[in-house]
A and B are shown apart, each in its own frame.
Chain A
Amino acid sequence: MRLLKPALFALCLLPLVAVLVRVFEFGGATLGANPIESIQDTFGRWGLRLLLVTLAITPLRDWCGAPWLIGLRRMLGLFAFGYVVLHFVTWLILDQSMYWPGIADDVSRRPFITIGFIALLLLLPLALTSTNRAMRRLGRRWKSLHRLSYLIVLLGVWHYYWQAKADTREPILYFVIASVLLGWRGYRLFRHGHRFNPFS
């Protein structure tokens, strides 16, 4: 764990490093003809991927019998949040140039942007209650609150699916993964419920 955590931390930073390398054009790397789109897509994609990875921790723990995996979950979740925020800030500052009428119009009238925005808002309380102190104070409610992540990941996949022009293969793959991860939780609950149901 002592080695694993810093290693995972470094790994999670790689997408950000990759963007920076291309921004500063180290080693001839470039962001291409549309740098804003490239930055925004990279952050958004990794935000969603890391959300899925975070959601995979519990099933993986049970499938592989590896309880130590839980110790990595908070970091993964916070990185996911970080990339989603970067994705949003890129849109706000670089894509929209903080042109507020356009931003208000997009958030209110473009369903795929509305969905993405809602997902970001829902992530905020999760990020804010990620400290040990908040966990202690919230007690059992912490777990209920953090089940919001199930909804958030679905909103994120939907947001990605809805902005695609014709090639929906990647968002559909993410939907399948999310379905497996959430479906397994449902299945476990179902079986669990039966086992503990005295009337069954």
Chain B
Amino acid sequence: MLIKPFRPGDSARIAPSVITPEHVFEDRRRLLRAALAAGITGIGVSWPRAEAAPAALSYQRNERYSIADPPNSYQDVTSYNNFYEFGTDKSDPAANSGRFKPEPWTVTVVGEAEVTGRFSFGDLIKPHALEERIYRLRCVEAWSMVIPWVGIPLGDVLRRFRPTSRAKYVAFETVYRPEQMPGQRSNVLDWPYVEGLRIDEAMHPLTLLAVGVYGKSLPNQNGAPLRLIVPWKYGFKGIKSIVAIRFTEKQPPTSWNVSAPREYGFYANVNPLVDHPRWSQARERPIGRGAFNARVATQMFNGYEAEVASLYAGMDLRRNY
């Protein structure tokens, strides 16, 4: 299957019947895990999986903000993830997130806003209509996927907290649960993961607070139960499993920038003209097209230049990478 040369439109023609149904996929993992556990303990005990199956959501497709490229398979989207809280391999999040509990969920809102406090997932999401948007996700590692997210424009949620004029930035924080997130037990990054946006970036209509993918609630490995999607920025800006939102006057610290400031900036806008110090950002590998498909040119702002370039008018994007 893999060796077959890819022709444009091929992935769109993958019949749903060919894709491994999710419960079979999950079952296979459970079986493997049970086998492993049996091998280790020798008494054939498997540990229980607390994870609930992603639930179907009701939503409307937002065509205006969706790209026409065929989306990656559900399998690709849920098995090839960067979510260091569950391990640094792309396969780790799917393999190690089974014990993570995204319910119940509370988000703390603090800082320069009139309304602050603790809000349940329902409080946050229920007042809004969910919409589906097909976005290209461009990873800083020079690969990309096309993903049908389900969510709410972040600005619609943030406005309910009535940020004051001092709110120049919005900071986000991922949950810290080393007992459920094995990656947090090693210090490859400073935990908890933090990210941030300028307030105008956060309020931009493209910025999405995602609660689902492929019409269902987010699987744990994709950042359940809610995560950020900023399609014109590198994927690491899309902080996952958010538990805190803070309106601030000063630019907040961001995890990858803290870890390697020369390599990852606060802005992290997709830009084919500004290379990562160690690799080129001019071309990217579209995931899911087999082994014999060439890289494609990366687009300025990941193809969202018309919508967002004005946010950075007059800024030196080489310095503000």
Closest to B78 in A: A33
- Contacts A25-B2, A110-B280 given; indicate if A33 touches B291 (C-beta within 8 A): no
1/0 per residue, CB under 8 A from A, across B130-145: the answer is: 0000000000010101
Contact check, A33 vs B79: say whether CB atoms are below 8 A apart. yes
In the complex formed, the residue of A with least CB distance to B264 is: A165
In the bound complex, how far is the Cα of B295 from the Cα of A112, in angstroms?
20
Contacts of B121 in A (CB 8 A): none
User: Are A97 and B294 in contact, CB atoms less than 8 angstroms apart?
Assistant: yes
Q: Which residue of chain B lies nearest to A39 when distances are taken between CB atoms in the complex? A: B291
Contact of B290 among A35, A97, A112 (CB under 8 A): A35
Q: How far apart are the CA atoms of A30 and B189 in the complex, in Å?
A: 30
Would you call B143 and A34 a contact (CB within 8 A)? yes
Q: Is the interface of B mostly helix, strand, loop or mixed?
A: loop
- Are B280's CB and A105's CB within 8 A? yes
Is A162 interfacial (CB-CB < 8 Å)? yes
Residue A94 is within 8 A (CB to CB) of chain B in the complex: yes
- Of A25, A36, A166, which contacts B1 at CB under 8 A? A25
Contact A166 B280 (CB under 8 A): no
Provide the bound-state CA to CA distance between A176 and B2, in Å: 38
Chain B residues near A39: list those with CB within 8 A. Answer: 291
Q: How far is the CA of A94 from the CA of B260 in the complex (A)?
A: 29
Give the contacts of A2-51 with B (CB-CB under 8 A): 23-25, 30-37, 39
A33 touches B2 (CB 8 A): no
B287 interface neighbour in A33, A96, A97, Cβ under 8 Å: A33
Given A97-B295, A162-B278, A165-B141, CB of A34 within 8 Å of CB of B287 = yes
Taking CB atoms, residues of chain A closer than 8 Å to B79 are: 32-33
B274 within 8 A of A: no
Q: Tell me the minimal C-beta distance from B70 to chain A in angstroms.
A: 15
Evaluate whether A106 and B280 lie within 8 angstroms (CB atoms) in the complex, with A33-B90, A33-B287 already known. yes
The reply to whether the CB of B288 lies closer than 8 angstroms to some CB of chain A is: yes
Most buried by A among B84, B88, B283: B88
B35 neighbours in A (Cβ, 8 Å) = none
Q: How far is the CB of B89 from chain A (nearest CB, A)?
A: 9
Asked whether A102 is an interface residue with its Cβ less than 8 Å from the other chain, the reply is yes
**When chains A and B are docked, how far (Å) is the Cα of A30 from the Cα of B79?**
12
Q: A99-B295, A165-B141, A167-B188 are in contact. Are A32 and B2 (CB under 8 A)?
A: no
A102 to B275, CA, bound (A): 13
Decide: B278 and A34 in contact? CB cutoff 8 A. no
Residues on A with C-beta less than 8 A from B291 are 23, 31, 35-36, 39, 94
Q: Which residues of A contact B2 (CB under 8 A)?
A: 23-25, 30-31, 35
Q: How many Å from the CB of B217 to the closest CB on chain A?
A: 21
A163 within 8 A of B: yes
CB distance from B136 to the nearest CB of A (A): 15
Contact assessment for B278 and A163 in the assembled complex, using a CB-CB cutoff below 8 Å: yes
| Mask of B80-105 contacts with A, CB within 8 angstroms, 1/0 | 10001000101100000000000000
Given the contacts A35-B291, A94-B292, A166 and B84 also touching, CB distance less than 8 Å = yes
**B183 CB → nearest A CB, Å:** 9
Can you list 13 A-B contacts with CB-CB less than 8 angstroms, sorted by A residue number? A24-B2, A31-B2, A33-B76, A34-B80, A34-B287, A35-B290, A37-B285, A39-B291, A97-B295, A106-B280, A165-B141, A166-B88, A167-B88
Binding site for A on B (CB under 8 A): 1-3, 72, 75-76, 79-80, 84, 88, 90-91, 141, 143, 145, 186, 188-189, 256, 259-260, 278-280, 282-283, 285, 287-288, 290-292, 294-295
9 shortest A-B CB distances, which residue pairs? A33-B80, A167-B88, A97-B294, A33-B76, A35-B291, A166-B188, A167-B188, A33-B287, A36-B291
